[in-house]
């Protein structure tokens, strides 16, 4: 591998940087050692090569596929995969097709990330990609709001995102667990594209190629949640995105997220966010 830093970003790539121009006290995400974050939609030809990176790198693939290589690990990154590369390690990543991901840089000098100092490069399915992606979108939207409540909301989103990141990074899996996680990630991806349906454990188990009891047991083991709790979170995450980034009515959002009625949707949403969908859409502090 070359010892020069190389960066090739075609013009059609679209990257949104999660920064806080209206919040002067947000350095490194409020003292948590997050030096950089972006939401990227990339096209063929994208290529990054770093001979000696000064930060820890975390990538969540949200669409398409890319490839990576370090001195100790290489492979492809598909939807649901996460890649961690520790600071100081030579690496590159690229794509020959459309590839969407979330990238975050962590300052190794920050005490917040002290537990990563002995980590090697790793690639595995992420448990919390959906949650991190949804929260980053909300954080990006909130960062552009000039109102006085935004600072508190940004702190709130920051804590949630980093809690999910910690759980992903601290989790270790056996080979059998990794295989199950890959199969289950495809199930959640399929369900996420068809949230308007009513899903049963039996239907989800068929998608995973498992018996219903085994599917339930494996899901509880790997995600510390039941299958229906994961579906609920997918519904709420989709609804939250639509509330913030669309002008659709509550009735339309409830239907797209798979709720029987706006009332059922509002009740479920308030249970998670401690505010009504209308309040969330208006940016009211919970």
- Give the pLDDT confidence of 13-37 residue by residue, as tens digits: 999 998 876 555 556 788 889 999 9
Measure the CA–CA gap between 172 and 149, rounded to whole angstroms: 37
CB 70 within 8 A of CB 93: no
Q: Render pLDDT for 82-91 as a digit per residue (tens, 0 to 9).
A: 999 999 988 9
The per-residue pLDDT for range 194-239, each reduced to its tens digit, is 999 999 999 999 999 999 999 999 888 776 678 998 888 888 878 8
pTM above 0.85, yes or no: no
- Cβ-contact 108, 116 below 8 angstroms: yes
Say if 6-129 and 176-282 have the same CATH topology: no
Question: Band of the pLDDT at 40, cuts 50, 70, 90?
Answer: very high
**SS3 sequence, the chain?**
CCCCCEEECCCCCEEEECCCCCCCCCCHHHHCCEEEEEEEEECCCCEEEECCCCCEEEEEEEEECEEEEECCCEEEECCCEEEEECCCCCEEEECCCCEEEEEEEECCCCHHHHHHCCCCCEEEECCCHHHHHHHHHHHHHHHCCCCCCHHHHHHHHHHHHHHHHHHHHHCCCCHHHHHHHHHHHHHHHHHHCCCCCCCCHHHHHHHHCCCHHHHHHHHHHHHCCCHHHHHHHHHHHHHHHHHHHCCCCHHHHHHHCCCCCHHHHHHHHHHHHCCCHHHHHHCCCC
Domain 176-282: give its CATH code: 1.10.10.60
| Averaged pLDDT of the chain | 86
- Whether 241 has a pLDDT exceeding 80, the answer reads no
pLDDT value, residue 189:
83
**Of 201, 194, 197, 188, which Cα lies nearest the Cα of 259?**
197
Here the contacts of 196-202 (C-beta below 8 Å, separation 24 or greater) are 196/255, 196/256, 196/257, 196/258, 197/258, 198/258, 199/228, 199/231, 199/258, 201/227, 201/228
Greater confidence (123 vs 102) lies with 102
Please tell me the predicted confidence (pLDDT) of residue 21: 61
Architecture of domain 6-129: Sandwich (2.60)
Closest to 78 in 3D by CA, of 64, 94, 95: 64
Nearest to 211 by CA among 219, 224, 220, 202: 202
First to last CA, the chain: 50
pLDDT tens-digit readout, 192-206? 889 999 999 999 999
What is the tens place of the pLDDT at every residue in 146-194? 666 777 888 888 989 999 999 899 875 555 666 787 788 789 889 988 9
pLDDT at residue 1, rounded to an integer: 47
Domain residue ranges of the chain, discontinuous segments joined by +: 6-129, 176-282
Q: What are phi and psi of 66, to 5 degrees?
A: -135, 175
Q: What integer is the mean pLDDT of 234-261? A: 87
């Amino acid at each position: 591998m070359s010892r020069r830093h190389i960066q090739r970003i075609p013009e059609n790539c679209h990257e949104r940087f999660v920064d806080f121009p209206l919040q002067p006290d947000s350095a490194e995400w409020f003292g948590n050692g997050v030096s950089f974050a972006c939401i990227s939609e990339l096209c063929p030809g994208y290529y990054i090569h770093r001979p000696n990176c000064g930060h820890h790198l975390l990538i969540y693939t949200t669409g398409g596929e890319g490839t990576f290589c370090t001195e100790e690990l290489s492979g492809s990154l598909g939807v649901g995969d996460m890649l961690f590369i520790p600071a100081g390690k030579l690496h590159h990543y690229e794509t020959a097709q459309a590839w969407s991901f979330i990238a975050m840089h962590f300052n190794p000098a920050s005490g917040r990330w002290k537990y990563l100092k002995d980590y090697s490069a790793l690639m595995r399915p992420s448990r919390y990609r959906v949650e991190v992606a949804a929260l980053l979108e909300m954080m990006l939207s909130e960062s552009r709001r000039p109102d006085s409540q935004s600072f508190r909301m940004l702190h709130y989103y920051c804590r949630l995102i980093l809690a999910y990141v910690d759980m992903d990074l601290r989790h270790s899996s056996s080979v059998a667990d990794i295989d199950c996680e890959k199969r289950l990630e495809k199930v959640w991806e399929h369900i996420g594209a068809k949230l308007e349906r009513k899903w049963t454990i039996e239907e989800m188990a068929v998608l995973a190629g498992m018996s219903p009891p085994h599917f339930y047991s494996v899901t509880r083991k790997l995600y510390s949640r039941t299958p229906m709790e994961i579906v609920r979170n997918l519904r709420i995450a989709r609804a939250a995105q639509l509330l913030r980034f669309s002008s659709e009515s509550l009735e339309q959002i409830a239907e797209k997220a798979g709720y029987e009625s706006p009332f059922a949707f509002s009740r479920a949403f308030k249970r998670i966010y401690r505010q009504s969908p209308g309040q969330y859409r208006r940016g009211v502090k919970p």
